[in-house]
Chains A and B, each alone.
Chain A
Amino acid sequence: QQQVKQSPQSLIVQKGGISIINCAYENTAFDYFPWYQQFPGKGPALLIAIRPDVSEKKEGRFTISFNKSAKQFSLHIMDSQPGDSATYFCAALGGATNKLIFGTGTLLAVQP
């Protein structure tokens, strides 16, 4: 019940296209859902995060869509650029804990 399932494992998108990464969770106590971007040899960096009281959050080209009833959330990267090529992790946290539960990661490659 502590797992966060992420798909796809890898994704290839053409420059200018839309990248979509999906995550699903089971623990209804989760109430904070961040997305992290990780470049090779670097630590995860917070990209955008959402709480379940809203269904969508947009920051620049990055949008999180959240479906509380389905217990799913997704990251959309609009106008994908080669510089977006990285590994993306969804995560979840909630209840009386500071422990982030990470998804398995999606390796995104944006082709020029």
Chain B
Amino acid sequence: EPEVTQTPSHQVTQMGQEVILRCVPISNHLYFYWYRQILGQKVEFLVSFYNNEISEKSEIFDDQFSVERPDGSNFTLKIRSTKLEDSAMYFCASSETEVVAGNTIYFGEGSWLTVV
């Protein structure tokens, strides 16, 4: 079964440093997402991306965050200057079409970010 792959699986970074989390969505999917899950809490939406631009973002996704699709296969989340509260599991996800059409959204296994 096709899957969303994420790297790294775990990253420890100093507060204030820049972090890039990488994702390879499923190949024929057109919609890409980042969600995050703080330890022990629910999964929260960060941003959705379609046709090379952000289609929707949450209030969490402030100016410290950015997303990019640098080539035909990768989708990245950049945190410009990490804060302690950015420590969380970050999930990349993708869907073939809009989820509103009932299309399944597939999640990767996550990148665990620890900011110290």
Query: Could you tell me which A residues sit within 8 Å of B by CB distance?
Result: 31-32, 36, 41-46, 49, 51, 89, 93-105
Known contacts A89-B42, A102-B43; is-contact A41 B99 (Cβ 8 Å):
no
Query: Could you tell me which B residues sit within 8 Å of A by CB distance?
Result: 4, 31, 33, 35, 41-45, 48, 55-56, 58, 91, 93, 95, 98-100, 102, 104-110
Question: CB < 8 Å: which of A32, A44, A89, A97 contacts B102?
Answer: A32
CB atoms of A43 and B100 under 8 A apart: no
Chain A residues with Cβ under 8 A from B108's Cβ?
Answer: 43
Question: CB < 8 Å: which of A43, A45, A89, A99 contacts B45?
Answer: A99
4 cross-chain pairs, A with B, having the tightest CB-CB distances, nearest first = A43-B107, A102-B43, A99-B45, A102-B42
A109 to B33, CA, bound (A): 30
Question: CB < 8 Å: which of A31, A46, A98 contacts B104?
Answer: A46
A95 to B31, CA, bound (A): 17
CB atoms of B100 and A98 under 8 A apart: yes
Question: CB < 8 Å: which of A44, A95, A99, A104 contacts B91?
Answer: A44
Chain A residues with Cβ under 8 A from B102's Cβ?
Answer: 32, 49, 51
Chain B residues with Cβ under 8 A from A102's Cβ?
Answer: 42-44
CB atoms of A104 and B42 under 8 A apart: yes
Chain B residue with the shortest CB-CB distance to A42: B109
